[in-house]
Protein backbone atom coordinates (compact mmCIF):
# COMPACT_ATOMS: atom_id res chain seq x y z
CA UNK A 1 0.00 0.00 0.00
CA UNK A 2 2.85 2.37 0.81
CA UNK A 3 4.46 1.64 -2.57
CA UNK A 4 1.16 2.16 -4.39
CA UNK A 5 0.56 5.53 -2.72
CA UNK A 6 4.04 6.77 -3.61
CA UNK A 7 3.63 5.52 -7.16
CA UNK A 8 0.50 7.67 -7.32
CA UNK A 9 2.52 10.57 -5.92
CA UNK A 10 5.00 10.26 -8.79
CA UNK A 11 2.16 10.09 -11.32
CA UNK A 12 0.51 13.19 -9.83
CA UNK A 13 3.82 15.07 -9.85
CA UNK A 14 4.47 14.26 -13.52
CA UNK A 15 0.97 14.24 -15.03
CA UNK A 16 -1.20 16.41 -12.77
CA UNK A 17 1.27 19.14 -11.81
CA UNK A 18 -0.03 22.71 -11.82
CA UNK A 19 2.27 25.71 -12.03
CA UNK A 20 1.37 29.12 -10.62
CA UNK A 21 2.92 32.56 -11.20
CA UNK A 22 4.16 34.91 -8.53
CA UNK A 23 1.77 37.74 -7.71
CA UNK A 24 4.60 40.28 -7.77
CA UNK A 25 5.89 42.00 -10.90
CA UNK A 26 9.36 40.59 -10.21
CA UNK A 27 11.00 38.20 -7.77
CA UNK A 28 14.67 38.06 -6.76
CA UNK A 29 16.61 34.88 -6.05
CA UNK A 30 16.27 35.12 -2.26
CA UNK A 31 12.51 35.56 -2.47
CA UNK A 32 12.34 32.62 -4.86
CA UNK A 33 14.17 30.37 -2.39
CA UNK A 34 11.79 31.38 0.41
CA UNK A 35 8.70 31.03 -1.75
CA UNK A 36 6.21 28.72 0.05
CA UNK A 37 5.04 27.38 -3.31
CA UNK A 38 8.54 26.12 -4.07
CA UNK A 39 8.84 24.62 -0.59
CA UNK A 40 5.51 22.86 -0.95
CA UNK A 41 6.43 21.50 -4.39
CA UNK A 42 9.67 20.07 -3.01
CA UNK A 43 7.85 18.51 -0.07
CA UNK A 44 5.27 16.90 -2.37
CA UNK A 45 7.80 15.56 -4.87
CA UNK A 46 10.34 14.08 -2.43
CA UNK A 47 9.62 10.58 -1.03
CA UNK A 48 11.36 11.38 2.28
CA UNK A 49 11.59 15.10 3.09
CA UNK A 50 14.61 15.97 5.22
CA UNK A 51 12.80 16.94 8.47
CA UNK A 52 11.07 13.55 8.60
CA UNK A 53 14.06 11.25 8.27
CA UNK A 54 15.07 11.07 11.92
CA UNK A 55 12.66 13.17 13.99
CA UNK A 56 9.69 10.93 13.30
CA UNK A 57 10.85 7.46 12.34
CA UNK A 58 13.35 6.55 15.04
CA UNK A 59 11.17 7.55 18.07
CA UNK A 60 8.21 5.78 16.49
CA UNK A 61 10.20 2.60 15.90
CA UNK A 62 11.54 2.67 19.45
CA UNK A 63 8.07 3.24 20.93
CA UNK A 64 6.55 0.35 19.01
CA UNK A 65 9.35 -2.02 20.07
CA UNK A 66 8.99 -1.02 23.71
CA UNK A 67 5.20 -1.40 23.74
CA UNK A 68 4.97 -4.65 21.81
CA UNK A 69 7.92 -6.40 23.43
CA UNK A 70 7.13 -5.37 26.99
CA UNK A 71 6.19 -8.32 29.20
CA UNK A 72 6.26 -10.63 26.17
CA UNK A 73 2.91 -9.32 24.96
CA UNK A 74 3.67 -10.54 21.42
CA UNK A 75 4.74 -14.08 22.38
CA UNK A 76 3.30 -16.71 20.06
CA UNK A 77 3.59 -20.46 19.49
CA UNK A 78 5.83 -19.97 16.47
CA UNK A 79 9.06 -19.14 18.28
CA UNK A 80 11.18 -16.10 19.00
CA UNK A 81 12.26 -15.53 15.39
CA UNK A 82 8.67 -15.30 14.19
CA UNK A 83 7.82 -12.91 17.03
CA UNK A 84 10.82 -10.69 16.25
CA UNK A 85 9.95 -10.52 12.54
CA UNK A 86 6.32 -9.74 13.30
CA UNK A 87 7.25 -6.95 15.73
CA UNK A 88 9.74 -5.51 13.24
CA UNK A 89 7.08 -5.46 10.51
CA UNK A 90 4.55 -3.80 12.81
CA UNK A 91 7.16 -1.21 13.84
CA UNK A 92 8.01 -0.47 10.21
CA UNK A 93 4.35 0.03 9.29
CA UNK A 94 3.84 2.26 12.33
CA UNK A 95 6.85 4.31 11.29
CA UNK A 96 5.49 4.77 7.77
CA UNK A 97 2.13 5.83 9.23
CA UNK A 98 3.89 8.39 11.41
CA UNK A 99 5.75 9.71 8.37
CA UNK A 100 2.52 10.05 6.37
CA UNK A 101 0.64 11.87 9.14
CA UNK A 102 3.53 14.24 9.83
CA UNK A 103 3.95 14.93 6.14
CA UNK A 104 0.22 15.55 5.80
CA UNK A 105 0.36 18.18 8.55
CA UNK A 106 3.54 19.82 7.25
CA UNK A 107 2.16 20.11 3.71
CA UNK A 108 -1.02 21.65 5.04
CA UNK A 109 0.97 24.12 7.13
CA UNK A 110 2.82 25.34 4.02
CA UNK A 111 -0.40 25.43 1.99
CA UNK A 112 -2.03 27.49 4.75
CA UNK A 113 0.74 30.08 4.37
CA UNK A 114 -0.04 30.28 0.65
CA UNK A 115 -3.76 30.66 1.36
CA UNK A 116 -3.05 33.44 3.86
CA UNK A 117 -0.96 35.24 1.24
CA UNK A 118 -3.82 34.96 -1.25
CA UNK A 119 -6.31 36.26 1.32
CA UNK A 120 -4.11 39.32 1.88
CA UNK A 121 -3.92 40.04 -1.86
CA UNK A 122 -6.59 41.65 -4.11
CA UNK A 123 -6.75 38.37 -6.08
CA UNK A 124 -9.05 37.09 -3.32
CA UNK A 125 -11.95 38.87 -5.04
CA UNK A 126 -11.68 36.44 -7.96
CA UNK A 127 -12.30 33.44 -5.67
CA UNK A 128 -15.74 34.76 -4.73
CA UNK A 129 -16.97 34.26 -8.29
CA UNK A 130 -15.36 30.95 -9.21
CA UNK A 131 -17.64 27.89 -9.37
CA UNK A 132 -17.47 25.90 -6.11
CA UNK A 133 -17.71 22.59 -7.99
CA UNK A 134 -14.17 23.07 -9.33
CA UNK A 135 -12.56 24.23 -6.10
CA UNK A 136 -10.56 22.30 -3.47
CA UNK A 137 -12.94 19.32 -3.29
CA UNK A 138 -10.53 16.49 -4.32
CA UNK A 139 -9.77 15.78 -0.67
CA UNK A 140 -13.47 15.00 -0.10
CA UNK A 141 -14.19 13.18 -3.37
CA UNK A 142 -14.62 9.41 -3.36
CA UNK A 143 -12.70 9.10 -6.65
CA UNK A 144 -10.20 11.97 -6.59
CA UNK A 145 -7.89 10.32 -9.15
CA UNK A 146 -10.48 10.76 -11.88
CA UNK A 147 -9.17 13.33 -14.33
CA UNK A 148 -11.27 16.41 -14.94
CA UNK A 149 -10.52 19.24 -17.37
CA UNK A 150 -13.60 21.36 -16.73
CA UNK A 151 -11.63 24.03 -14.87
CA UNK A 152 -9.09 24.25 -17.69
CA UNK A 153 -11.88 24.52 -20.27
CA UNK A 154 -13.45 27.37 -18.32
CA UNK A 155 -10.09 29.15 -18.08
CA UNK A 156 -9.67 28.92 -21.86
CA UNK A 157 -13.18 30.29 -22.39
CA UNK A 158 -12.24 33.23 -20.18
CA UNK A 159 -9.03 33.68 -22.17
CA UNK A 160 -10.88 33.71 -25.49
CA UNK A 161 -13.33 36.27 -24.15
CA UNK A 162 -10.38 38.40 -23.11
CA UNK A 163 -8.86 38.06 -26.59
CA UNK A 164 -11.85 39.87 -28.08
CA UNK A 165 -10.92 43.04 -26.18
CA UNK A 166 -8.46 45.10 -28.19
CA UNK A 167 -6.05 46.41 -27.02
CA UNK A 168 -5.40 43.82 -24.33
CA UNK A 169 -2.54 42.86 -22.01
CA UNK A 170 -1.63 39.78 -24.08
CA UNK A 171 0.17 39.98 -27.40
CA UNK A 172 -1.19 38.23 -30.46
CA UNK A 173 1.78 35.84 -30.46
CA UNK A 174 1.19 34.78 -26.85
CA UNK A 175 -2.54 34.29 -27.52
CA UNK A 176 -1.91 32.16 -30.59
CA UNK A 177 0.70 30.07 -28.75
CA UNK A 178 -1.63 29.26 -25.85
CA UNK A 179 -4.59 28.58 -28.15
CA UNK A 180 -2.50 26.22 -30.28
CA UNK A 181 -1.11 24.21 -27.35
CA UNK A 182 -4.54 24.04 -25.68
CA UNK A 183 -6.18 22.81 -28.91
CA UNK A 184 -3.70 19.93 -29.21
CA UNK A 185 -4.15 19.16 -25.50
CA UNK A 186 -7.94 18.87 -25.82
CA UNK A 187 -7.59 16.72 -28.94
CA UNK A 188 -5.93 14.07 -26.79
CA UNK A 189 -8.62 14.50 -24.13
CA UNK A 190 -11.51 14.16 -26.60
CA UNK A 191 -9.95 11.03 -28.09
CA UNK A 192 -9.61 9.54 -24.61
CA UNK A 193 -5.85 9.25 -24.98
CA UNK A 194 -3.23 10.00 -22.35
CA UNK A 195 -1.81 13.50 -22.76
CA UNK A 196 2.00 13.43 -23.21
CA UNK A 197 3.89 14.85 -20.26
CA UNK A 198 5.87 17.20 -22.51
CA UNK A 199 2.67 18.67 -23.93
CA UNK A 200 1.24 19.14 -20.46
CA UNK A 201 4.39 20.92 -19.29
CA UNK A 202 4.31 23.15 -22.38
CA UNK A 203 0.70 24.05 -21.59
CA UNK A 204 1.62 24.88 -17.98
CA UNK A 205 4.48 27.13 -19.10
CA UNK A 206 2.21 28.94 -21.55
CA UNK A 207 -0.53 29.42 -18.92
CA UNK A 208 1.96 30.82 -16.42
CA UNK A 209 3.53 33.11 -19.04
CA UNK A 210 0.11 34.56 -19.89
CA UNK A 211 -0.76 34.84 -16.19
CA UNK A 212 2.41 36.82 -15.47
CA UNK A 213 1.51 39.36 -18.17
CA UNK A 214 -1.98 39.69 -16.68
CA UNK A 215 -0.57 40.21 -13.18
CA UNK A 216 1.68 43.03 -14.42
CA UNK A 217 -1.33 44.57 -16.13
CA UNK A 218 -3.49 44.29 -13.00
CA UNK A 219 -0.76 45.66 -10.75
CA UNK A 220 -0.39 48.81 -12.85
CA UNK A 221 -3.98 49.97 -12.34
CA UNK A 222 -6.82 47.77 -11.12
CA UNK A 223 -5.28 46.31 -7.97
CA UNK A 224 -3.88 49.72 -6.99
CA UNK A 225 -7.39 51.16 -6.67
CA UNK A 226 -8.10 49.26 -3.47
CA UNK A 227 -11.51 48.03 -2.31
CA UNK A 228 -13.83 48.06 0.68
CA UNK A 229 -15.43 45.01 2.21
CA UNK A 230 -17.98 47.22 3.98
CA UNK A 231 -19.19 48.70 0.70
CA UNK A 232 -19.51 45.25 -0.81
CA UNK A 233 -21.64 44.10 2.10
CA UNK A 234 -23.74 47.25 1.77
CA UNK A 235 -24.31 46.44 -1.91
CA UNK A 236 -26.05 43.24 -0.88
CA UNK A 237 -28.16 44.98 1.75
CA UNK A 238 -31.81 45.33 0.77
CA UNK A 239 -32.02 48.97 1.88
CA UNK A 240 -29.03 50.25 -0.03
CA UNK A 241 -28.56 47.91 -2.97
CA UNK A 242 -30.40 50.21 -5.38
CA UNK A 243 -28.21 53.17 -4.49
CA UNK A 244 -24.98 51.19 -4.75
CA UNK A 245 -26.03 48.88 -7.56
CA UNK A 246 -23.31 48.09 -10.08
CA UNK A 247 -24.43 49.22 -13.53
CA UNK A 248 -23.76 47.53 -16.85
CA UNK A 249 -21.48 50.41 -17.75
CA UNK A 250 -19.36 49.71 -14.65
CA UNK A 251 -19.04 46.07 -15.70
CA UNK A 252 -18.09 47.02 -19.26
CA UNK A 253 -15.48 49.48 -18.02
CA UNK A 254 -13.85 46.84 -15.82
CA UNK A 255 -14.45 43.82 -18.05
CA UNK A 256 -10.82 43.43 -19.08
CA UNK A 257 -9.67 43.58 -15.44
CA UNK A 258 -12.31 41.14 -14.25
CA UNK A 259 -11.42 38.64 -16.97
CA UNK A 260 -7.70 38.88 -16.21
CA UNK A 261 -8.36 38.48 -12.49
CA UNK A 262 -10.57 35.44 -13.09
CA UNK A 263 -7.98 33.79 -15.32
CA UNK A 264 -5.21 34.28 -12.72
CA UNK A 265 -7.56 33.09 -9.97
CA UNK A 266 -8.23 29.90 -11.91
CA UNK A 267 -4.49 29.19 -11.93
CA UNK A 268 -4.31 29.31 -8.15
CA UNK A 269 -7.50 27.31 -7.81
CA UNK A 270 -6.00 24.58 -10.03
CA UNK A 271 -2.88 24.52 -7.86
CA UNK A 272 -4.94 24.20 -4.67
CA UNK A 273 -6.76 21.24 -6.22
CA UNK A 274 -3.40 19.69 -7.14
CA UNK A 275 -2.12 19.96 -3.55
CA UNK A 276 -5.39 18.57 -2.16
CA UNK A 277 -4.98 15.61 -4.49
CA UNK A 278 -1.64 14.82 -2.83
CA UNK A 279 -3.13 15.24 0.64
CA UNK A 280 -5.94 12.83 -0.23
CA UNK A 281 -3.34 10.37 -1.49
CA UNK A 282 -1.56 10.52 1.89
CA UNK A 283 -4.89 9.98 3.66
CA UNK A 284 -5.42 6.83 1.59
CA UNK A 285 -2.30 5.29 3.09
CA UNK A 286 -3.02 6.54 6.62
CA UNK A 287 -6.51 5.02 6.73
CA UNK A 288 -5.71 1.77 4.92
CA UNK A 289 -2.39 1.41 6.76
CA UNK A 290 -4.00 1.71 10.18
CA UNK A 291 -6.76 -0.76 9.25
CA UNK A 292 -4.19 -3.26 7.96
CA UNK A 293 -2.08 -2.79 11.10
CA UNK A 294 -5.10 -3.49 13.31
CA UNK A 295 -6.11 -6.53 11.26
CA UNK A 296 -2.59 -7.97 11.30
CA UNK A 297 -2.19 -7.53 15.06
CA UNK A 298 -5.58 -9.12 15.59
CA UNK A 299 -5.07 -12.01 13.19
CA UNK A 300 -3.12 -14.12 15.66
CA UNK A 301 -3.93 -15.00 19.31
CA UNK A 302 -0.91 -13.41 20.95
CA UNK A 303 -0.35 -13.77 24.68
CA UNK A 304 -1.54 -10.23 25.69
CA UNK A 305 -4.32 -9.06 23.36
CA UNK A 306 -5.32 -6.27 25.75
CA UNK A 307 -1.87 -4.66 25.39
CA UNK A 308 -2.22 -4.77 21.61
CA UNK A 309 -5.72 -3.29 21.84
CA UNK A 310 -4.52 -0.35 23.92
CA UNK A 311 -1.58 0.17 21.59
CA UNK A 312 -4.00 0.42 18.66
CA UNK A 313 -6.19 2.85 20.62
CA UNK A 314 -3.25 5.13 21.32
CA UNK A 315 -2.13 4.86 17.70
CA UNK A 316 -5.62 5.81 16.53
CA UNK A 317 -5.57 8.92 18.74
CA UNK A 318 -2.06 9.87 17.58
CA UNK A 319 -3.14 9.53 13.95
CA UNK A 320 -6.70 10.85 14.17
CA UNK A 321 -6.20 14.03 16.20
CA UNK A 322 -3.78 15.74 13.75
CA UNK A 323 -5.93 14.81 10.74
CA UNK A 324 -9.16 16.11 12.30
CA UNK A 325 -7.29 19.25 13.34
CA UNK A 326 -6.23 19.81 9.70
CA UNK A 327 -9.80 19.21 8.50
CA UNK A 328 -11.01 21.80 11.00
CA UNK A 329 -8.53 24.40 9.78
CA UNK A 330 -9.46 23.68 6.16
CA UNK A 331 -13.14 24.27 6.85
CA UNK A 332 -12.40 27.52 8.69
CA UNK A 333 -9.91 28.90 6.18
CA UNK A 334 -11.06 32.15 4.59
CA UNK A 335 -9.71 31.47 1.10
CA UNK A 336 -11.11 27.94 0.91
CA UNK A 337 -14.44 29.29 2.19
CA UNK A 338 -14.46 31.77 -0.67
CA UNK A 339 -13.90 28.94 -3.13
CA UNK A 340 -16.68 26.81 -1.69
CA UNK A 341 -19.15 29.64 -0.96
CA UNK A 342 -19.25 28.76 2.74
CA UNK A 343 -18.93 30.90 5.86
CA UNK A 344 -15.33 31.33 7.00
CA UNK A 345 -14.48 30.35 10.55
CA UNK A 346 -17.47 28.04 11.06
CA UNK A 347 -18.00 24.28 11.01
CA UNK A 348 -21.22 23.11 9.43
CA UNK A 349 -22.99 19.78 9.31
CA UNK A 350 -21.23 18.92 6.06
CA UNK A 351 -17.85 19.09 7.81
CA UNK A 352 -18.88 16.55 10.45
CA UNK A 353 -20.39 14.20 7.88
CA UNK A 354 -17.30 14.29 5.67
CA UNK A 355 -14.93 13.86 8.61
CA UNK A 356 -16.99 10.90 9.83
CA UNK A 357 -16.68 9.27 6.40
CA UNK A 358 -12.91 9.12 6.88
CA UNK A 359 -12.83 7.83 10.46
CA UNK A 360 -15.73 5.34 10.41
CA UNK A 361 -13.63 2.44 9.03
CA UNK A 362 -10.70 2.89 11.47
CA UNK A 363 -13.18 3.27 14.36
CA UNK A 364 -14.97 0.04 13.46
CA UNK A 365 -11.61 -1.73 13.19
CA UNK A 366 -10.56 -0.36 16.57
CA UNK A 367 -13.83 -1.44 18.21
CA UNK A 368 -13.45 -4.91 16.75
CA UNK A 369 -9.96 -5.17 18.27
CA UNK A 370 -11.20 -4.08 21.72
CA UNK A 371 -14.48 -5.96 21.76
CA UNK A 372 -14.48 -9.36 20.01
CA UNK A 373 -18.28 -9.42 20.06
CA UNK A 374 -18.34 -6.29 17.91
CA UNK A 375 -15.88 -7.92 15.52
CA UNK A 376 -18.06 -11.01 15.23
CA UNK A 377 -21.11 -8.82 14.60
CA UNK A 378 -19.32 -6.93 11.81
CA UNK A 379 -18.08 -10.19 10.34
CA UNK A 380 -21.63 -11.55 10.31
CA UNK A 381 -22.58 -8.70 7.99
CA UNK A 382 -19.55 -9.20 5.72
CA UNK A 383 -19.70 -12.99 5.35
CA UNK A 384 -22.83 -13.06 3.11
CA UNK A 385 -21.17 -10.64 0.71
CA UNK A 386 -18.00 -12.73 0.64
CA UNK A 387 -19.99 -15.90 -0.06
CA UNK A 388 -21.73 -14.12 -2.93
CA UNK A 389 -18.37 -13.14 -4.44
CA UNK A 390 -17.13 -16.74 -4.19
| Helix 255-297 × helix 150-163 angle, to 10° | 170
Q: Distance (Å, rounded) from C-alpha 133 to C-alpha 202?
A: 26
Contact criterion met (CB below 8 Å) for 194 and 175: no
202-247: pLDDT as tens digits: 999 999 999 998 998 888 888 877 665 655 555 555 544 454 455 5
341-376: pLDDT as tens digits: 777 767 777 677 777 777 777 777 777 666 665 555
Whether the ω angle into residue 167 lies within 30 degrees of 0, i.e. cis, is yes
Q: Distance (Å, rounded) from C-alpha 67 to C-alpha 287?
A: 22
49-89: pLDDT as tens digits: 555 555 555 566 556 656 655 556 667 777 778 877 888 88
**313: pLDDT strictly greater than 70:** yes
Mean pLDDT of the chain: 76
Q: pTM higher than 0.85 for the full model?
A: no
DSSP 160-185: HHHHTSSS-SS-HHHHHHHHHHHHHH
pLDDT for position 166: 60
Amino acid sequence: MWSYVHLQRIIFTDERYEKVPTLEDHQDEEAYQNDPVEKLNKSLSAPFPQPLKLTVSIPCLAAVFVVLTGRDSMRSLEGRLYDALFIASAAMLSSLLARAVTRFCLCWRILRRILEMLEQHPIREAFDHLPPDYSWSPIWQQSPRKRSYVALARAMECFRNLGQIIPGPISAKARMNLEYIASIFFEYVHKGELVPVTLRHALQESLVDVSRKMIVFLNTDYWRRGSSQSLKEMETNENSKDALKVTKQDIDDNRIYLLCQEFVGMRFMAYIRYVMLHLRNLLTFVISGFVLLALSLGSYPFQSPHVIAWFLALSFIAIGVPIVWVFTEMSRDATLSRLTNTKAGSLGLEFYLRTASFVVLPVLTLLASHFPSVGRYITSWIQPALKTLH
